[in-house]
């Protein structure tokens, strides 16, 4: 149990860790490319460490020096490896597509939580390309047998960057052309990086087409992760003023700013620039009186990981907020609809569970209380922000899981874990 005290004011300037999605992709794509690349400001959270471990097992050479990685791709992928993906959904899903394209056999597995997450959503579209993938009743462990792939046209029922990326990573090794279409555009880091590495790729609205391509290594300068910055941005909105530096503001990721606009949160994007093919900015957020909002399915993909935090902000906003079309939250590191509802209610808020979202009745003040992380990093960090903003603070059980995406989260909050 970690004590988290309430604070009257929260102010400061923050440098946040590198973007998790971009770091995963930079490691995997360079690990299979021709040449050697340097990745700077990489996130070395547990999920990306899992990706490094798997890519090394497959034959890539990766040297780590703090947050700088040197990756040398391998043309010969090791056969018969067992790839431990830890807790990381992005690792297992992207690598399922990647490995399927390399015509090798492999077994991908992970921890208890990862083993509960759906894998058919990746196996099925990949089987359209001819991949031979067996799941364990729809879950990990996932077994891949070598099979030459042929391009196919895949339509996803659910928007998912992980599934889209798995198809694209298989598609670059398949014969001919592969297309993937999703209902709402999800994060597009894979598309951007593949293009930068010389892939023959076209984007047309929500449809991406890729042809068989050889990739050349590219250096990647990773921007700070807007999903990690979001906690400090929320603290600015609730309790004072925060400046988050050099944050990636790719439009497929910044639904949180759309939520801020609707909530009435005062923020500014300063020093906007392009860095490594991604737009970045310093984000200044100031304490704001917030009012209730409505979000629906089309809003969800660009703020999928921030929705627990947005729901928390709604708990402090005036009026009744409604978030729907977010059923995907049920299959994240925890059932984030259930765990968010419990978190908000345990600190004195009023949040009701819907099959695909929440209704949140806002209150000016929440008393605080005892909460659990459910071993879900995003719930742990949302809980810490929530407790700081309450009247009495409280205790957070099992806070260490933040290390999945944000190893020094509590240091940045000036909280020493005991």
Residues that bind ligand S3P (CB under 6 A): 21, 24, 90, 160-162, 165, 186-187, 304-305, 328
Residue pair 291/360 in contact by the 8 Å Cβ criterion: no
* Least distance from ligand S3P to the Cβ atom of residue 371, Å: 21
* Least distance from ligand S3P to the Cβ atom of residue 21, Å: 3
| Residue 305 is among the residues annotated as catalytic for this protein | yes
Catalytic residue among 305, 376, 408, 411, which? 305
Closest residue to ligand S3P, Cβ-based?
21
* Least distance from ligand S3P to the Cβ atom of residue 378, Å: 8
Pick 90 or 280: Cβ nearer ligand S3P:
90
Distance, CA of 191 to CA of 179 (rounded, Å):
12
Pick 165 or 178: Cβ nearer ligand S3P:
165
* Least distance from ligand S3P to the Cβ atom of residue 365, Å: 31
Residue 402 CA: distances (Å) to CA of 25, 82, 86, 301, 337: 21, 26, 14, 22, 19
Pick 282 or 305: Cβ nearer ligand S3P:
305
Pick 246 or 405: Cβ nearer ligand S3P:
405
Pick 6 or 297: Cβ nearer ligand S3P:
297
Distance, CA of 358 to CA of 356 (rounded, Å):
7
* Least distance from ligand S3P to the Cβ atom of residue 100, Å: 17
Catalytic residues: 305
């Amino acid at each position: 149990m970690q004590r988290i005290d309430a604070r009257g004011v929260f102010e400061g300037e923050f440098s946040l860790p590198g973007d998790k999605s971009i770091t995963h992709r930079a490691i995997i794509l360079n690990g299979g490319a021709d040449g050697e690349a340097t990745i700077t400001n990489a996130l070395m959270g547990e999920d990306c460490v899992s990706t490094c471990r798997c890519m090394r097992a497959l034959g890539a050479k990766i040297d780590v020096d703090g947050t700088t990685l040197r990756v040398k791709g391998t043309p010969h992928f090791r056969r018969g490896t067992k790839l431990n993906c830890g807790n990381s959904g992005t690792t297992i899903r992207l690598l399922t597509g990647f490995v399927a394209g390399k015509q090798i056999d492999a077994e991908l597995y992970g921890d208890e939580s990862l083993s509960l997450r759906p894998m058919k959503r990746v196996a099925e579209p990949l089987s359209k390309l001819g991949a031979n993938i067996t799941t364990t009743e729809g879950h990990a462990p996932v077994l891949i047998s070598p099979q030459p792939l042929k391009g196919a046209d895949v339509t996803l029922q659910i928007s998912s960057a992980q599934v889209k990326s798995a198809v694209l990573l298989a598609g670059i090794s398949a014969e001919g052309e592969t297309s993937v279409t999703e209902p709402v555009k999800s994060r597009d880091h894979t598309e951007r990086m593949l293009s930068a590495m010389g892939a023959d790729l076209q984007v047309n609205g929500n449809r991406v087409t890729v042809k068989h391509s050889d990739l050349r290594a590219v250096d990647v300068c990773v921007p700070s992760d807007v999903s990690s910055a979001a906690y400090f941005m929320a603290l600015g909105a609730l309790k004072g003023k925060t400046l988050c530096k050099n944050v990636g503001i790719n439009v497929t990721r910044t639904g949180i700013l759309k939520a801020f606009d609707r909530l009435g949160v005062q923020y500014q994007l300063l020093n906007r620039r392009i860095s490594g093919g991604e737009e970045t900015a310093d984000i200044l957020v100031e304490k704001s009186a917030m009012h209730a909002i409505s979000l629906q399915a089309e809003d969800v993909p660009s703020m999928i990981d921030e929705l627990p935090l947005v729901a928390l902000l709604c708990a402090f906003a005036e009026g009744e907020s409604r978030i729907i079309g977010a059923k995907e939250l049920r299959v994240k590191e925890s059932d984030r609809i259930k765990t968010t509802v419990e978190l908000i209610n345990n600190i004195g808020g009023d949040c009701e569970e819907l099959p695909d979202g929440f209704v949140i009745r806002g209150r000016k003040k929440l008393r605080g209380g005892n909460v659990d992380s459910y071993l879900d990093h995003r719930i742990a960090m949302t809980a810490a922000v929530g407790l700081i903003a309450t009247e009495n603070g409280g205790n957070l059980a099992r806070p260490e899981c933040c290390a999945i995406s944000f190893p020094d989260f509590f240091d940045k909050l000036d909280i020493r874990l005991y």
